[in-house]
Chain A
């Protein structure tokens, strides 16, 4: 049914005059919201009815106004008094308060549990963060506070000019630590291998595990010891490495 048919069906007049069922009321109200012309028709009929009623007004004696006004005002007053004086509302107040406190208590319990869990999680995160920091601090101290520590800054070669890595070599303990500043993640079937160079000959100092590039948990990687070295270099080799470098060299640096 289109809006025009709806308007001429007479349902709007029925609605305005209070002759429609609740379901029909809902329908008319929806139609008024949807179709401006339906709303217009409703208002037009309402105005017509009002105008008609005004023309047929029955004047009432002046004394009636005072009586009716008094009755209305007394009614407002009576309502206020009822709320203030009656004891019944007091009981219901208690009920409301009791109900409200139960709800509040339940809410507060839930909130407490949530907060407790959150707090615990934060605590865990905090202690693991502290442990990580400690670990990092130890690694850094190892380099900074050790007077025997030598460093080789390895710069990117032709294969990967932006790559960069650093080797820290303890000349006393011969321990080698690798700091990967920037290396592209290797293909899964290959691995980076660190070499110490002595008189131009490469000596295997160990593999960089590929999962380092995934998790990056550690700052410094402990490699094999190097008894002697003049320089260090990293090449990309097959998985597990090679006895002598076969792949491309990514970085290299002198001590």
Chain B
């Protein structure tokens, strides 16, 4: 698949902005696997994950003008597009309905957060990295990063002060970095 050409990030972005199909092909070849992994960490179901992956590539193609290199690397941007799409998906009514059939009635979202039916540690990527974190940290990252709850929502659901939620998430992520090293 890979034709052996290697684009710099700048070149790739410029070509995508000119709607170059070969640049899209290159983007897909190089990043579809990694982005699939990012989505899969949030949506374990393969079929749904692939639907979201398609949505993500369509969005990247459509919205490449919005990418601002001064704010971060291309992959970071794509990763956030993927994460947002995945979270939108699990928040959607359709997805919630299909989930309900599988699990016991959990009495709505609030309970779902409170009861944190947590890791099932999926053995991939960030999730695996998470496994090394302290329990209290792991829960917070799971809720904020993988389930997309805001700090306020988490603070309310877990009864932890907002400031503490924020500090703990930050130090968890900071630990994450040193752990990976």
Contacts and interface: CB of A to CB of B under 8 A. Distances in A.
B79 A19 contact: no
B125 A46 contact: no
Contacts, number: 128
A50 interface: yes
A10 interface: yes
Contacts of B76: 16, 46, 49-50
B36 A10 contact: no
Secondary structure of the A contact surface, majority rule: helix
Given A56-B37, A75-B61, A18 B32 contact: no
A73 interface: yes
Interface residues of B, number: 50
Contacts of A11: 170
A69 B26 CA distance: 11
A214 interface: no
Interface in B136-168: 144-145, 151
A2 interface: no
B119 interface: no
B73 A52 contact: no
B174 A46 contact: no
B36 A52 contact: no
Given A58-B37, A62-B1, 7 more contacts: A13-B170, A50-B34, A50-B75, A57-B36, A72-B62, A75-B61, A76-B19
Give 7 closest A-B pairs by Cβ, nearest first: A10-B170, A57-B33, A56-B125, A13-B173, A10-B174, A53-B34, A58-B36
